[in-house]
Structure 1
Amino acid sequence: MTTTPVSTAPSTASTDGGPHALSGRLGPTGIVFMVIAAAAPLTVIAGAVPLGISAGNGAAYPATYIVCTAVLLLFAVGFTAMARHIPGAGAFYTYVAHGLGRHAGLGAAFLALLSYTAVQGAVYGYIGAAINDLVTAHGGPAVPWYVYALGILVVIASLGYRHIELSGKVLGVLLVCEVGIVMIINLSVLGHGGAEGLSTAALSPANFFHGAPGIALIFALAGYIGFEATAVFRDEARDPARTIPRATYLALLLIGAFYALSSWLMVSAWGDAGAVQMATENPEGMITETAVRYVGSVAGDLVQVLLITSLFAAVLSFHNVLARYIHSLGNSGALPASCGRSHARHASPHVASIVQTTSAAVVIVAATLGGLDPVTQVFAWFAGVSSVGIVALMTLTSIAVIVYFRRTRKDTRLWQTILAPGLGLIGLATLLVLTAVNLPLLVGGSDTLAIIIAVLLIAAFLSGAVVAVARPHAARHTISVDN
């Protein structure tokens, strides 16, 4: 037998007398609500779908969700198999550390922090602009986006400080509302038979490869960001060995089916050529125009309101994920020990939540001082950072899964440990290349900005490795593995 240093699970020991363990009774449904809320279904249908149709592969765009779901399901096979053997709630970084070593694990941890902070900053920009648009559309005064964003930040901070089940209940209500309005639109389009009959473009491989399928896949993949957060809630899950795998598969299937169905009916609502024209000329208003055309003006107003609640649900979910990353790193010694404390009454990562709130406030203030547009710059640029970072993390995790099981032999099932993770790795590596190559497009066509973003992502990963060298006991414990 040999010992290998890996990322540690959260410790229950306290260096300062405070409790460090989280607790909860979340089942698969509660965790799925968290994950799907982070995916922001209405935001994806209103934002990513029109962009994917116009800049990607046109009327065949719905098929990209099927492709992405298939790749991520393959990834999930190895991910959930490894989750049964890995304690702790560090998600990506924990798995990378167990498979590829402590230095790579902490590199992944810091890359994850940057990626999720970026996507949260993107959502804060979008929600500030969306609230202002709604208020001014109904005769209210124009208010700078950052005022609304900071107001939302205060609400998020309050919910994140408290027990996770409160956030779960809030997310559940908001999720039902946003999914409900999209399904009403879907059923109405289906009932009317669309503009020219129901589209069949997504069924043709030739149509799928028409235009820019690589761009289409990037926009589609962005809708899944956060699905792996099922493992982040391990410490607060009821029977995590069963809950986490079930929640992961359920979240992926529901997200993929919802996006594929809704985008297909969005295309059908306008016809193949008409959908491309609408998505090109009025991408931000496509979902609202579809609601008005097939349901009525009241539905159009509801879409505007629920878009804001969708964004709120997303930013709350990302806050919870980030707080748990910070909490896990605090317990591992990679960050100050105080970050790993949990609240005596709420059993929440309250210190980590405060740290995360502070970092979000810094992002909002920095974007404001930089004079960035909340949508075309804050949202687009920060989402671009996150897209590359998350795909890179999933690719690393796929490699870690294969290496871990080959080394430990804790699970010798061929499909779960070699074939599915290997196929998922090929798919993710392809998506990573496509995302990196098209990064300038994601950030407004600027090669310089794309290079800066790439440098930031690499620097984040390297900073984690530096911490591993500077703090030899950070994120370290030993496990027994077979020679």
Structure 2
Amino acid sequence: MSATESKTPRSGGETGSGGLQRRALGVPDLVFFIVAASAPLTAVAGGQAATYLVTGNRAVPFMFIPLGIILALFAIGYAAMSRHVTNAGAFYSYVSKGLGKVYGVGAAFVALIAYNSMQLGIYGLFGVAFGSSMSSILGITAPWWLWCLMCIGIIATLGVLRIDLNARVLAVVLVLEVLIVALFDLSILAEPGPQGFSLLGFDPTIAFGAAAGATLTFCAASFVGFESAAIYSEEVRDPRRTVARATFIAVGLIAVFYAFSSWLLGIAAGPATMVDPGAMVEAGFTAGGEPDPTTVLFVAGAERLGQIWGTSASLLFATSLFAALLSFHNAVARYMFALGREGVVPRAFGSVRAGSGAPWVASLAQSALALTIVLIFALAAADPVLTLFTWLTNLGALGVLLLMSITSFAVIGYFRRRPETGLSRWSSAVAPAIAGVLLTVVLILGVTNFNVLITGATDAPLNTMAVVLPVILFGGGLVGLLVGSLLKRRRPEVFAAVGEGANAGFPQREDK
């Protein structure tokens, strides 16, 4: 590897010496990354459908309203911070500058666990979903892990290419999956289910009357990914505006889209059917003879829109997961890059590829980790959905809630020491404080309902992993705090660079 001069690609941005690809992404590109991470088709057809049956709550759609408000409050302080801090480390750098560098390293470790867990867990569902599509469409049958290995290879390739190319791939997949759900929504509006139209889904008394904590936690998981805009702040055209605009647009779109679509999902089968296993079997929403709420969108949609739509929806369910995998892969790679650039982890992770500006070492390391985890679960003959997907994605969602809670208070600390910014008290203190308290409440609900999240039943006996996984998350944060303290005492030059990003003062590496 050798240092090279600064290079400017032929189009779509530029790379400085050792830096990520500059000025490559606009607001639409960033929205694609954010929304793709939440996997709209998967969230509606999978997560939200399951929430009805698991919790017995007929007002799942209502929960997206308070959650949308909470996340909009969070976005106010988050967006304000993004105008003053530009760093691929996002939460890591925000916490470093708002609460102190030791806490920043702790946040970085939580972020690595959270985003890696989300990305690795999704492989389990992808392997099953894509394998099912290939079997029904082409008659090709293969074990779930083989499809995962193929996907890992594709994502590993895209991960070392230009970020704007990744954005275009996500744009195509995202538009198609949103179109599929939109067509489903329109078909239900034209021809509702057997119980007709009902506004029970938006009744707050029902929403908070049945397993409210579990329902709120399940719905919060649907938003994971919206907070990732700041990760790409070094690669957008106008960091002071692009991150804020993309975040607000994403929160609004996700909240409205999910509330509306989950309501129509309930209308398709009937609110009473969605929460009743026996009624679901009677209505034909089953898999292997067992009630399966994740079949509602596909069965009800195919009945109204035809088999071509049904086949397309099945395939796009898998590509929706691919888009989420690619989005989280890029997020993890940039966190590792930020930590490597500043010396918190080996500096090799701070290397970028000449021309594309991609953090190639961090990217390939994440792909290697994905390969390892998939093979471990495959060799253990573990259920890819009930273990790999369920355990790790819920762990990731819990980690993101923890990061958002901490970051809300970091925003307050940052602007309290910088009154010269002239930011209103609402943006710099009040909104972040309210968001921080409410997100902490949701986090506590997530921890106390974690057994429900990973077992899919409100009355299930305590699962060992419901204890082990949160311990890994919070324990990882404590390890990060210890590492930060050790850096402060033993490597003050590295500690001084924590959270400083491209201004850290260390030479950065750009490889051929």
Number of the residue aligned with 1:334: 344
Give percent identity, aligned residues only. 37
Q: SS of the counterpart of 2:21?
A: coil
Aligned to 2:221: 222
Match of 1:441 in 2: 452
Tell me, yes or no, if structure 1 residue 429 matches structure 2 residue 445: no
Please state if 1:177 is matched with 2:197. no
Determine if contact 2:94/2:499 at 8 Å carries over to the other structure.
no
Structure 1 match to 2:367: 357
Residue 100 of structure 1 and its aligned partner are, at CA, apart by: 1.1
Q: Distance in 2 between matches of 1:372 and 1:283?
A: 22
Secondary structure (helix, strand or coil) at the match of 1:476 reads helix
What is the aligned counterpart of 2:470 among 443, 449, 454?
454
Q: Give the equivalent residue in structure 2 for 1:76.
A: 75
Alignment size in residue pairs: 465
Give yes or no for contact 1:269–1:275 (8 Å, CA) kept in 2.
no
CA offset digits 1:163-216 (Å, max 9, x no partner):
001100000000010000110010111122443332201332211112111111
Task: Say whether residues 1:366 and 2:382 are aligned partners.
Answer: no
Distance 2:422 2:145 in 1: 50
The one-letter code sitting in structure 2 at the alignment partner of 1:399 is: F
The answer to whether structure 1 residue 381 and structure 2 residue 406 are counterparts is no
2:326 pairs with 316, 319, 332, which one? 316
Q: For each residue in 1:281-308, what CA deviation from the matched residue of structure 2 results, as whole angstroms up to 9, or x when unmatched?
A: 2222111112122222222211110001
Give the C-alpha shift of residue 407 in structure 1: 2.5
**Corresponding residue for 2:510?**
none
Aligned partners of 1:423, 1:56: CA distance in 2, in Å? 27
| Amino acid across the alignment from 2:380 | G
Q: Secondary structure, in 3 states, of the residue corresponding to 1:347?
A: coil
Query: Match of 1:94?
Result: 93
Q: What is the root-mean-square deviation in Å for CA atoms of aligned residues?
A: 2.0
Match of 2:314 in 1: 304
Q: Work out the CA distance in 2 between the residues paired with 1:138 and 1:180.
A: 20
SS in 1 for 2:22: coil
- Of 265-274 and 72-81, more deviation after overlay is shown by 265-274
Tell me whether 1:108 sits opposite 2:111 in the alignment.
Answer: no
- What is the aligned partner in structure 2 of residue 64 from structure 1? 63
Determine helix, strand or coil for the equivalent of 1:59: coil
In structure 1, stretches of 5+ residues that fail to align are: 1-11
Q: Residue by residue, what CA displacement relative to the aligned partner does 1:132-168 show, whole Å, maximum 9, x if unpaired?
A: 2223335735322111101100000111110001100
**Matched residue, 1:9:** none
Q: How far did 1:451 drift?
A: 1.6
| Of 138-147 and 94-103, the range deviating more from structure 2 | 138-147
CA distance in structure 1 between the partners assigned to 2:212 and 2:85 by the alignment = 36
Q: Name the counterpart of 1:168.
A: 167
Q: Which amino acid aligns with 1:301?
A: T
Q: What's 1:201 paired with?
A: 200
Match of 2:483 in 1: 467
2:123–2:148 CA contact under 8 A, matched in 1: yes
Q: Quote the Cα distance in structure 2 between the aligned partners of 1:405 and 1:57.
A: 43
Q: Give how far 1:270 is off.
A: 2.1
State the alpha-carbon separation in 2 of the partners of residues 479 and 113 from structure 1. Answer: 15
8 Å CA contact retained: 1:329, 1:475: no
Other structure's SS at 1:235 match = coil
Q: Residue in 1 aligned with 2:406?
A: 396
Cα-to-partner distance string for 1:401-454 (whole Å, 9 max, x where unaligned): 112222222344111012111111121011001100011122225442122112
SS in 2 for 1:474: helix
Aligned to 1:137: 136
The alpha-carbon deviation at position 18 of structure 1 amounts to 6.7
Cα offset, 1:252, TM superposition: 0.8
The answer as to whether partners of 2:93 and 2:499 remain within 8 angstroms in 1 is no
- Answer whether contact 1:18 1:341 (CA < 8 A) is retained: no
1:356-406 Cα deviation digits (max 9, x unpaired): 111211221222233221001111111121121111111111111112222
Task: Identify the residue that residue 186 of structure 1 maps to in structure 2.
Answer: 185
- 1:141, 1:158 → 2: CA distance? 24
Residues 340, 350 of structure 2: 8 Å contact kept: yes
Does the CA contact (< 8 Å) of 1:57 and 1:213 recur in 2?
no
Query: In the alignment, is the contact (CA less than 8 A) between 1:20 and 1:331 conserved in 2?
Result: no
Q: CA deviation at 1:470?
A: 3.2
Q: Structure 1 residues 66-75 or 402-411, which shifts more?
A: 402-411
* 1:396 to 1:97, Cα distance in 2 relative to 1, 3 A: same
* TM-score for both structures, normalised by structure 1: 0.92
What is residue 508 of structure 2 aligned with on the other side? none
Distance 1:69 1:476 in 2: 37
1:476 corresponds to which letter in structure 2? A
Taking structure 2 as the reference length, what is the TM-score of the superposition?
A: 0.87
**Aligned ranges for residues 242-257 of structure 1 at < 5 Å?**
242-257=241-256
Contact 1:57 1:207 in 2 (8 A): no
* Offset, 1:343: 1.2
Q: Which residue pairs with 1:51 in the alignment? A: 50
> Which moves more between the two structures, 312-321 or 367-376?
367-376
Kindly indicate whether the alpha-carbon contact (under 8 Å) linking 2:299 and 2:310 is maintained by their aligned counterparts in 1: yes
- 2:293 maps to what in 1? 283
Corresponding letter in the other structure for 1:129: V
CA gap of 1:139–1:29, structure 2 versus 1, over 3 A, is closer
Once residues 86 and 249 of structure 1 are traced to their aligned partners in structure 2, the CA distance between those partners, rounded to angstroms, is 18
Counterpart residue identity of residue 257, structure 1: V
CA distance in 2, matches of 1:171, 1:21: 19
Flag the 1:349–1:260 CA change in 2: closer, same or farther, 3 A.
Answer: same
Partner of 1:295 in structure 2?
Answer: 305
Asked if structure 1 preserves the Cα contact closer than 8 Å seen for 2:22 and 2:237, the reply is: no
Cα contact 2:342–2:497 (8 A) shared by 1: no
* 1:414 match: 425
Amino acid at match of 2:389: F
Question: Is 1:117 aligned with 2:116?
Answer: yes
Q: Where in structure 2 are there 5+ consecutive unaligned residues?
A: 1-5, 7-15, 501-512
Aligned with 1:241: secondary structure?
Answer: helix
**CA distance change for structure 1 residues 34 and 180 in 2, over 3 Å: closer, same or farther?**
same
Whole-Å Cα distance in 2 between the matches of residues 470 and 378 of structure 1?
Answer: 34
**Partner of 2:506 in structure 1?**
none
SS of 2:352's equivalent in the other structure is coil
Contact kept in structure 2, 1:22 and 1:342, CA below 8 Å: no
400-409 vs 104-113, which moves further: 400-409
- Post-superposition shift, 1:59? 2.3
